Structure 1
Amino acid sequence: MNDHYLKKLDRVTAILTQLQSKPLVRAQDLAEKFEVSIRTIYRDVKTLENAGIPIVGEAGSGYSLMDGYKLPPVMFTKEEVLSFITAEKLMQKFSHESLGSHYRTAMEKVRSVLRHSDKNLIQTVEKQVDVFNYHAQSTDSVKNVIPLILESIAEKMQLSIEYRSMDSKVSNRIIEAVGLFFEFNYWYIMAFCTLRQDFRQFRVDRILQVSKTSVPFSKEYGGINDYRKNSGNDVTKVKLLVDKKIMGHLVNSKRYYGLIDETETDEGVVMTFETEWIKEGFPRWLITFADYAVVLEPETLKTKIGELITNISTKLQ
């Protein structure tokens, strides 16, 4: 069998996997995924139909398997089986507690369809892989909070939440959850807040109560990354002149605190931020490398840093 037919066989098998895993698959998406023409995808789908696979749909709309049609368990490659190990270790350390038990039962089902040799492979290797997490995981007030949030996103139904802010103020909100993201060891909801009539971020572990309402979303939303940088909170522009030798230590955190520009000069690196945390979060982060930085603007940040240093000095006396 020549290389052309081997590639086609791999692609047709992968298309069948896509049909098994999704309710509707577009030819255009398949063409982009496999880097072939749409006409090639049409021929591949025809190949599957000729092999007796009952595919519903047609060119120009989308394809799906006939409802109720079942296929034998998918056979995994050795590389795919080994990837399960690292994925499982990561989930054990970094997954939200409301997802952990569901993931474990899902993995048990995946393991149940593996070949005997693959099960032995996992058993041999899994004790040789570990992930070290140096951050304490947060504890939620609400059981199964993330699955409930995901349900509301899928069903496009509003959530009613009781929320405790950073300064311990408790408020009741009606939100339309756009998505979830994990950052700096915490899970966050990006949502449209009906009270503020704007987008807000809510830390999941600060939700005291949550319930799904019967009220549908008021509007359609895009992907979560369309909103993360425009959450509606007040932002302050900050400019710092930072010593070049400290830049390597700021690689991850600088993006979190709103970096929008970075310009290298003879005196150092001019870093420009747009931050929502000018009163507390940003000054406390800046103080960790303040001896290597000069605040160019705003003046209020200089004042806040001075107050923090004075407070620290007083407690050290």
Structure 2
Amino acid sequence: MNDHYLKKLDRVTAILTQLQSKPIVRAQDLAEKFDVSIRTIYRDVKTLENAGIPIVGEAGNGYSLMDGYKLPPIMFTKEEVLSFITAEKLMQKFSHQSLGNHYQAAMEKVRSVLKYSDKNLIKNIEKQIDVFSFHTDSGDSLKNVIPIILESIAEKSQLNIKYQTVDGRVNNRTIETVGMFFEFNFWYIMAFCMLRKDFRQFRIDRILEISKTPNPFVQEYGQVNDYRKKSNGNKVKAKLLVDKKIMNHLVNSKKYYGLIEEVETENGVELTFETEWINDGFPRWLITFADYATVLEPESLRTRLKELLLKMTERHQ
């Protein structure tokens, strides 16, 4: 069997897996996934149909397996089995506790269908993998908050939440959740706040109470990253001159704080930002490497940095 037919066999098998795991699969999405033409996907689907797989749908509308049709359990490769172990370790460290039991139950089901040799493989290697994290328990009062949030997104139903802000104030909000994201060791939700009539993000560990409502969303939303890129305030340009030797330590955080330009010079690296957090978040982040950086502009940032450093000095005298 030549390389062309091996690739076709792998692709057709992968398409079958996609059909088993999703309600509708579009030919265009499959073509992009496997980097082939849509016409090739049409031929692959025809191959599956000729093999007796009852596929419902047609070109242009998407495909699915006939309702009620069951296939034998999917066999996992050794590489896939090893990836499960790594993913499980990461989930144990970084998943929200409301997901922990559900993920553990799902992994037990996956393990139950593995070959005997693969089960031994897991037994022999799972104790040799560990993930070290500085993230501490947030002490969330709600144990089932993320499943409720995910259900509201899937069902497009509004949520009522009681939320505690960073300064300790507690208020009630009705929100339409666009999506969730994990950042800097905390889970957040991006949502449209019915009170503020604007998009807001809420840290999940600050939600004190949560409940689904029978009210549907009043509008349609895109993907969560579309809204995270949008600004809810006025951005201020800030420019820093940073010592080259610490640039590797700022790889991820500089983008989070609004990096728009990076220029290497003889004296260091000039970093230009556009930030909404010029009075609080940005200068507090800058303090973490202030001995290796010079504020070029604006003057207000230099003043705010001095104020924070003075407060720190007075507190620790």
How many Å apart are 1:246 and its aligned residue? 2.4
**Alpha-carbon distance in structure 1 between the residues aligned to 2:316 and 2:99:** 43
Contact 1:199 1:231 in 2 (8 A): no
How many equivalent pairs are there? 317
Q: CA RMSD in A?
A: 1.5
Could you tell which deviates more after superposition, 278-287 or 15-24?
Answer: 278-287
The equivalent residue for 1:305 is 305
How many Å apart are 1:141 and its aligned residue? 2.0
**Alpha-carbon distance in structure 2 between the residues aligned to 1:120 and 1:257:** 46
TM-score normalized by the length of structure 1: 0.96
How many Å apart are 1:113 and its aligned residue? 0.6
**Alpha-carbon distance in structure 2 between the residues aligned to 1:236 and 1:196:** 23
Q: Report matched runs for 1:142-291 at 5 Å.
A: 142-291=142-291
**Alpha-carbon distance in structure 2 between the residues aligned to 1:191 and 1:235:** 21
**Alpha-carbon distance in structure 1 between the residues aligned to 2:22 and 2:219:** 25
Could you tell which deviates more after superposition, 90-99 or 214-223?
Answer: 214-223
Q: Report matched runs for 1:17-96 at 5 Å.
A: 17-96=17-96
User: Which residues of structure 1 form unaligned runs of 5+?
Assistant: none
**Alpha-carbon distance in structure 2 between the residues aligned to 1:275 and 1:302:** 15
How many Å apart are 1:300 and its aligned residue? 2.4
Could you tell which deviates more after superposition, 283-292 or 236-245?
Answer: 236-245
Could you tell which deviates more after superposition, 109-118 or 294-303?
Answer: 294-303
- Pair 1:9-2:9 in alignment: yes
Deviations 1:53-93 (A, max 9, x none): 11111111110001111111100111111111100000000
How many Å apart are 1:4 and its aligned residue? 2.0
How many Å apart are 1:231 and its aligned residue? 4.5
In structure 1, give the amino acid aligned to 2:297: E
The SS at the match of 1:227 is helix
How many Å apart are 1:213 and its aligned residue? 1.2
- What is the identity percentage for the equivalent residue pairs of Structure 1 and Structure 2? 76
The SS at the match of 2:229 is helix
**Alpha-carbon distance in structure 2 between the residues aligned to 1:102 and 1:3:** 41
TM-score normalized by the length of structure 2: 0.96
How many Å apart are 1:258 and its aligned residue? 2.0
Q: Report matched runs for 1:108-147 at 5 Å.
A: 108-147=108-147
In structure 2, give the amino acid aligned to 1:13: T
Contact 1:137 1:185 in 2 (8 A): no
